[in-house]
Amino acid sequence: MVSSLLIALAASSYAAAQSFVSDPLIDKVVPYTAIPYQVDHHTADRGPQAGYNICNSTTEGQTSMCQTAYVNHLDDFCLFAPPKEATIGETEGIEVAWCTKPGRGTRLIPEGTFTGLQLVKSPGYIQIVGFIDQTKLNIPDGDYGGELDSGGQDGRGNPIGGLVYSNDLPGSTGNDSFVQSRHWTFFIGGDQFCLKVCDSTNPEAGHLCEHIYDRIGCAYNAPNTAQNNVFEACEGEDMMPVGTYVENGQTLTWTQPPEGVAPTPPYTPTPASSSNCVTYSSNALFSQLATVGISGSQAAPTSGATGAAGASGSGARLGVSGTSSADGAASTNGANAMGVSLIAGISGVVFSALFFA
Ligand SMILES: *[C@@H]1O[C@H](CO)[C@@H](O)[C@H](O)[C@H]1NC(C)=O
Ligand SMILES: *[C@@H]1O[C@H](CO)[C@@H](O)[C@H](O)[C@H]1NC(C)=O
C-alpha cells in the first residue's frame, strides 16, 4: 500500500516535471555537413544544452564541451562521459564526447582507460562493449551509472543535444563520409560500457536501439561475448529486438515495469552469433592516446584499473546472462564466468533508477 502510493507519487511528479518536446532529438535529421552550433534550442525544465555540436581545433582538449560523437571502428570511437567528476545519474543531460582519435574537437580518452573491447558490426548496427577504468573518464569509482540515449525523459536526449555519426553505417562512402545515427543507446558505469548505434534507415532501428529498457543494462540491451583483456572486432547477426524472446516457438515481448518495481525479465538474453573476430593489441589500436593525461578536474584513481568487471578474471564476459544459474545454458557462447560483472550491471541499473526517476 505504502509502496504503491510512493510509486504513484513518483510517477506523477516525474510526469509533471518534464514535458515531452514537440521536436525530439530522434527525429532531427542533421547531415554531417550542416551541423548547427547547438542542435537543441529548448531552455525549459532541464535548461539549455550544456555544450555544442560544432567542434574543431579551438574546442579540442580535455575541457572540450563537444557533444558530437563518432562510432566508426575499434580504434576510432567516442563515449559520452561527465565534463567534471560526477556520477552518470547527476550528469546524464550534460555528458560530453570523449574519443580515441584527435582531430575532431573533443576530449581524448586517456591511455589505459580500456582493458578489453569488443566491436560487433551487424547489418543493423555497430555495437561496442568494453571494460574500463571509469575514473579516467570523470566517473567516480563505484558509480554504477545508467543509460544515455537519443531519447531521454523529455525527448531531448541524454546528453541533451548529443549527436552521433559513423563512417561505417550504410550510406557512408568512405572514412571521410559520416552518416548520422538517430537511434543509439549507451550504458556506462560499474567499470563497463556498451554502446549501440543503429542504422537509422533500417526499419528495425527503433527496436534494435530501444530506449525503454534503461534498468536492465548491457546484458539485455547489448548481449555480447566481450572479455576483459581482449580487444577484438567481429561481424555478427542482428540481435533480437531488446525485450523480445522465444518461448515454446513463440516470440514474446517483455516490457520493463514502472520505476519502483524491480525489473525481472523472464528470459536470459543470448548474444547474436558473431564471426570473423580479429584480435588486436591495445597498444596498436590506441597509440595516439599515449600522451593524454588525466583531466584536471578529476580525483586520482583510488583502486586497480579493472574494478568490478575485472574481478572475475580474464574469462569474464560482460553481462551475457541474467542469473548465475543460467551459466550452463549460456556456456555454448563461452559465457561461464560473468557472475561478478553481471552483479555490477544489474545493481548498476537499479542504482541508476534512483537518479533517473
Ligand atoms: C569552432 O567551434 C566553436 C564552438 O562550437 C565555434 O564557436 C566556432 O565558430 C568554430 N570555428 C569555426 C572556424 O568553425
Ligand atoms: C578507415 O579506417 C579504418 C580504421 O579506423 C582503417 O582500418 C581503414 O584502413 C580506413 N580506410 C581507408 C580507406 O583509409
User: How far is ligand 1, taken at its centre, from the CA of residue 105, in Å?
Assistant: 10
The Cα-based distances of 252 to 52, 244, 249 in angstroms read 41, 6, 9
Q: Which atom of ligand 2 is nearest to the CA of 175?
A: 1
Q: What is the pTM of this model?
A: 0.81
Question: Which pLDDT value is given to residue 8?
Answer: 33
Q: Is 317 touching ligand 2 by the criterion CB < 6 Å? A: no
Q: Are 106 and 53 in contact (CB under 8 A)?
A: no
Residue 314 CA to ligand 2 center (angstroms) comes to: 29
Atom 9 in ligand 2: residue holding the nearest Cα = 175
Contact present, 50 and 93 (Cβ < 8 Å): yes
Number of compact structural domains in the chain? 1
Going across the sheet that includes 76-81, the strands are 107-108, 96-99, 76-81, 68-73, 163-166, 179-181
Exposed e or buried b for every residue in 182-211, given b needs 16+ CB within 10 A? bbbbbbbbbbbbbbbbbbbebeebbbbbbb
Per-residue pLDDT at 16: 45
Q: Establish whether residue 327 lines the binding site of ligand 2, counting it when its CB lies within 6 angstroms of any ligand atom.
A: no
Kind of pairing between the strands at 96-99 and 76-81: antiparallel
Cα separation, 334 vs 197, in Å, equals 25
Nearest CA to ligand 2 atom 4: 73
Check pocket membership of 60 for ligand 2, CB cut-off 6 A.
no
Q: What is the pLDDT of residue 293?
A: 57
Q: Report pLDDT for 291.
A: 67
Q: Is 125 exposed, middle or buried (0-12, 13-18, 19+ CB in 10 A)?
A: buried
Task: Look up the domain containing 283 and give its range.
Answer: 2-356
Q: Quick check: 55 and 106 in contact, CB under 8 A?
A: yes
Residue nearest to atom 14 of ligand 2 (CA): 175
Whether 56 is in the pocket of ligand 1, judged by its Cβ within 6 Å, is yes
Q: Tell me what pLDDT residue 289 has.
A: 82
Question: Does ligand 2 come within 6 angstroms of the Cβ of 168?
Answer: no
pLDDT at 224: 97
All three cell numbers of 305 = 584499473
249 alpha-carbon distance from chain centroid: 31
Distance CA 213, CA 245 (A): 14
57 pocket-lining for ligand 2 (C-beta < 6 Å): no
Say if strands 244-247 and 250-253 run parallel, antiparallel, or are unpaired.
Answer: antiparallel
Nearest CA owner, ligand 2 atom 12: 175
DSSP 8-state code for residue 322 = S
- One pLDDT digit (tens) per residue for the chain, 357 residues: 333 333 333 333 344 457 899 999 999 999 999 999 999 999 999 999 999 999 999 999 999 999 999 999 999 999 999 999 999 999 999 999 999 999 999 999 999 999 999 999 999 999 999 999 999 999 999 999 999 999 999 999 999 999 999 999 999 999 999 999 999 999 999 999 999 999 999 999 999 999 999 999 999 999 999 999 999 999 999 999 999 999 999 999 999 999 999 999 999 999 999 999 999 999 889 988 866 654 433 333 333 222 222 222 233 334 332 322 222 222 222 222 222 233 333 333 322 333 332
The protein residue whose alpha carbon is closest to atom 9 in ligand 1 is: 54
CA distance 218 to 212: 13
**Ligand 2 site, residue 101, Cβ cutoff 6 A:** no
